[in-house]
Each structure stands twice: as C-alpha cells, then as structure tokens.
Amino acid sequence: MKHLVTGAAGFIGSNIAKELIKNEEEVIGVDCFTDYYSRDLKERNIKELKNNSNFKFIEADLLKMNLNELLDKVDYVYHQAAQAGVRSSWGKDFEIYSRNNILLTQKLLEAARKSKELKKFVYASSSSVYGDTDKLPMQENNRLQPVSPYGVSKLAGENLCYLYYKNFKVPAVSLRYFTVYGEGQRPDMAFHIFIRAFLKGEKINIFGDGKQSRNFTYVSDIVRANILAAEKAPAGAIINIGGAGEGIKLNEAIELIQELTNMKTEIIYTDKVKGDVKHTSADISKAEKLLGYSPAVKFKTGLSKEVKWLKSIYS
C-alpha cells in the first residue's frame, strides 16, 4: 500500500511515517520545514527514515504543489501538516493558520475528490475544537466553541473533511487528538519546555495556577489510532483520541518530571494566556467502539521516554 504523510518531518507525522515504514509500507512524506521551530529538530525526526528505500521525502510547500499528481496511486493520506500552537494564533499570524490549516486542507480534499485509489483520508483534528466547557469528559457531540483562532482553524479543516465526504464521498475521517507528548514533541509544547528547563537548570514559567488539567496522549497511541482509522473508521466519522494520562494537572506533571530528571528548578506562576482552556478530558468510547482503540502507554512510562529523548539532545 502507498501512504502519504503530510507534515512528515514534524512531531506526529514523523512518528506515523516511522511506524508505517516499520510495517514495510511505502511512504511518501512531504514537509516544507516551516520556521515555527528549528529545522534541526525536524531533520532529527526524519534522519533514519531518509535511509529507507521505502520512504520518499519531498521538501516542498504543499500549497505550491500539484496535489493531483501527489495523490496519484496513493491509498491512504494522513494529513498532519498544519500551523500548530494555540498561543501564537492571534493577530496577523492568523493568516498563516488560515493558509496552512484551512486552505491547505481544502486543496488536499479537492485532490482527494479526484483520486480513484484513495481508501481513507485521515485528518489530524484537535481537542481545541471544544474550547472551554463544563461538559467533561468531552464527547464528540458536545457543542463546539473553540476559544483560540488555532481551534477555529482546526474545526474549519474538520468541517471541510465532513462536507467533502457528504457531497463527494471523499473517505475522510477526523481524529481529535488530545495533547500529544513523547519523542519528537514540539519545542513550544509544555513538557518539552519543562523537561529542557529541568535539564538545563532554567526557570519554568507556568501560565495560570498550574491546576489546569489535560488528557495527555503518548505519541505511539496517536500513531496506532491513525493506522486503525485508516483501516477501520467509517468515512465521515469524527473521533476523539485520548491517552492514558487522563485528568493530569500541570503541577502534577512537573512533580513527575522533577522525579524523572532527578533535578530541581525554580517555578514562576504568571497570568493565564488567552486561548488556553482550563481542562481537557477525553471520552474515548467512540474510538473503542469504532476502532478497537484504547491507550496502551501509561503516563509515567511515556513521560520517562520523552525525558530520555530530551536528555539525548540537551544533556
């Protein structure tokens, strides 16, 4: 089978590509190395992949490519390319989010519509489509009210997937990821920032009181959910993908990082940032029912793997 992974040099895309290659599948990976974070980290993500003859890497901006040609004879698309990050999605940068998250998804779906071979188009959506809600755990049929422009852009992508399915039978599926962590995690994400700070003895800034909680999902669980969705999810479905790290407060995660790194650092509490939600919590019963998915990696195990990976970079 032939698989296309967009955003293949990024955190999640590179992990999906690695798993597919491990399964001896043929993979095309596309990434343009946006400047949101260092190229060096992304190069590390795909270093080994590039040595594998089943992996073809294309460095290009998908918005400038001939997507009909790209999708030719592709069986499965895992659409991970996006401008990620909640906090930087305000103001003039929303243009980047509109282009890379909304326009790009629409263009890929147009190409998917013309494809004869495509079996599934798996879209990386986000728990940020829910926004701040008292209705926890978050269920797929909750009212959707994102509180960040990023969340709005991811929801627009998800809605586009659904309407291309409804109108043109594009076999699109959206997976709403809940905060993903593990090897390759983006350097703007909390655990990466905290672990690096512990390792380097730098101060940690917490936005808010640290009592905000998240469902944390280890990256191999997200990867498995993508592959299960490609195989099994009914076209048009929208499915939460959460992890074993349910209801973990930021302060608790920091204590665990302190234990795992066996180091100490100073923690400073500052004002909450606009766009951050207080709690996320995933109802994953739909994923269990449709995909046979349940998270396999315990929070402490996953976090210790991320610590080990970051030690190899920063220690």
Ligand X SMILES: NC(=O)c1ccc[n+]([C@@H]2O[C@H](COP(=O)([O-])OP(=O)(O)OC[C@H]3O[C@@H](n4cnc5c(N)ncnc54)[C@H](O)[C@@H]3O)[C@@H](O)[C@H]2O)c1
State which residue, 156 or 170, has the beta carbon closest to ligand X: 156
In the stretch 116-135, what mask flags binding to ligand X with x, by CB under 6 A?
--------x-x---------
Contact region with ligand X (CB under 6 A), list: 25-33, 224-232, 251-259, 281-289: 25-33
Q: What are the structure tokens assigned to 155, written together?
A: 């929801």
Q: Is 150 a catalytic residue?
A: yes
Contacting ligand X within 166-195 (CB under 6 A):
177, 179-180, 186
Report the nearest approach of ligand X to the CB of residue 107 (Å): 10
Q: Which of 150, 164, 165, 218 is catalytic?
A: 150
Compute CA 51 distance to the chain's CA centroid, rounded to the nearest angstrom: 24
Give the contacts of 124 (CB within 8 A, at least 6 positions apart): 7, 12, 78, 79, 80, 82, 175, 177
The Cα–Cα gap between 75 and 73 comes to 6
The Cα–Cα gap between 200 and 212 comes to 25
104 binds ligand X (CB under 6 A): yes
Secondary structure (3-state) at 121? strand
In the stretch 40-79, what mask flags binding to ligand X with x, by CB under 6 A?
--x------------------xxx----------------
Q: Which of 4, 5, 27, 30 binds ligand X (CB under 6 A)?
A: 30
Q: 222 near 19, Cβ under 8 Å? A: no
Torsion of CA 186, 189, 193, 199, to 10 degrees: -60
Binding site for ligand X (CB under 6 A): 7, 9-13, 30-34, 36, 42, 61-63, 80-82, 84, 100, 104, 124, 126, 154, 177, 179-180, 186
